[in-house]
Structure 1
Amino acid sequence: MTDPTSYPYATHLDVKFPALETIDVAGLAVACTERWYNQTLCRVNDAVVRLGVMVGEYHWHRHVDDDEFFFVLDGVFLVDLEDRTVDLRRWEGFVVPKGVLHRTRAPGRAVVLMVETAAIVPTGDGDA
């Protein structure tokens, strides 16, 4: 299992907002000063919704037991797979199925929502 603290990303796995509380996604995104920021916003059943604000690239990794959904709110977000690159723009989403090796990149500032199981290790848990 990969240790999330061994990578230079600001990854916050704590649930920032409980149920029945308004989530100001735009306000959080505007306030973000990190180059690669990941904050768990809320929990929905066995899944979590996370906010990603990023510039640059993440490392190659896979999630052995978990699918991962990305939804772009702003900017351009690239998902590199072994055989192609998926170019996501505002209001577009994409699912990376469990076990698929991938890397995400943002050539400029991108704001993305991610939906995944609460147990997922954001930095990956399979050999990359």
Structure 2
Amino acid sequence: MPNKYNEAQISLRDYFAGLAMQAIIANPSLDTLAPSDVSSDAYNQADAMLAERTKAIPQESIDWSKAPEWAIAHAVDSDFTAAWFDVEPELVDGKWYVGKGGKRAQSAPNFNYQGAPENSLIMRGAE
């Protein structure tokens, strides 16, 4: 029997809420919660998770002493891999790229960044 819910209709918020709901339901100390409270709490948790993703990487968390001398930028891709760049990169489909004349350097530590890639670009000297 086909699933009546199309996967394309499930947002990241819905996905996070589903994960949170599973954790809430699995907690025996919360088994007296009404279903509407479980749903509300799950979406509150999902909203908090989405808000956390929008936070930019703190400038002070980049340890430029680990960067190659030529590196002027650091950024983290959507898969949480990071790189040092010799020019300011451009974000395309969750990955950072450089145009003509630039090169993507050796990989870099991601400094435990877990947010969205569009908030991860740090330029040397901006710290």
State TM-score, norm by structure 2: 0.23
- Structure (1 or 2) with the greater helix fraction: 2
- The structure, 1 or 2, with the larger RCO (C-alpha pairs under 8 Å, 6+ apart) is 1
- Structure (1 or 2) with the greater strand fraction: 1
- Who wins on radius of gyration, i.e. which is larger? 2
State TM-score, norm by structure 1: 0.23
